[in-house]
Amino acid sequence: MFALITAVCWGSIGLVSNKIGGTNQHQILGESYGILIFALLMFFIKQPTIDLKTTFVGLASGFFYCYGQNQQFRGFNEVGVSVGLPLSTAAQLIITTLAGAFIFHEWVNAHDYTFGFIALAVLIIGAYYTSKKEKGPSQEPVATKSPVVGYIAILLSGVGISLYSITTKAFAVDAFAILLPQAFGALIEAFAASSSLSGKQMRSRFTYFNVIVGLMWALGNLFYQLAIAQIGLAISFALSQMGIIISTLGGIFILHEHKTKKELRFTILGCVLVIAGGVLLGVMKA
């Protein structure tokens, strides 16, 4: 249940931030404010003990997350939520799976390697289909500004958000104690990413409305940490990524991102494959 709440919160972020508007700098700055507000609230309610290890792990993981999310916002602005989120999800699942196999030695026998590489292949094929475009003279122009820049940003987002998960996995820390250091780590990266904005631009209404996005992520993050403690990283991460259903369909039907009928079929097929790969990884380690 915890991981599914995370999926709803995180899967809605791209839709909400896109509806609010602003540049990726407004979006990430506003989100970091929301994360800090939630963390301060939880700190005063739970009053956890924050030691030196928790501080450094929190700062690092928060910084990595915020970097990845900033790149994700950039990617969404270029290629859309319905394409960007499934690609980012696939990248995260691939990177965290490889880290689990070769850094944390979670793959211990032939069964793990066989099913692990099958799952990775399914994820890669799924990522390909989510971004596949229909070819032909009758195709309408796609409203993207710079697809190459967008795809690079999405890949970088996968790296950043994966490092956030890997860091919290490598150092077991209390789910409530890590929230405040994570918030400050996110804030540091957000200020660095938005350093080109003037003071007036930073105080834009887009920044303040994107605080909602930060609260959504922080709530999802809390339930994600609780899920890891309850059912482990592999299953928690796989279930948390099911939010691509919300983001992909929402991008098409709420944000009205253009898809031909064939591209819509490609996208749905890609999402199904990404979900299947994620579930296979989760079941493999159950």
Q: Tell me the per-residue pLDDT of 190-241, one tens digit each, with 9 for 90 and over.
A: 999 999 888 888 999 999 999 999 999 999 988 987 887 777 766 677 777 7
Q: Does residue 21 surpass a pLDDT of 80?
A: yes
Q: Where are the domains of the chain?
A: 2-284
The pair of structure tokens assigned to 200 is: 């007036």
Q: Does residue 140 surpass a pLDDT of 70?
A: no
Percent of the chain clearing pLDDT 90 (strictly above): 44
Predicted confidence at residue 142, as pLDDT, reads 47
Predicted confidence at residue 125, as pLDDT, reads 92
What average pLDDT does this structure show over 107-135? 86
Q: pLDDT for 148-171, tens place per residue?
A: 999 999 999 999 999 998 998 888
Alpha-carbon distance of 11 to 248, in angstroms, equals 9
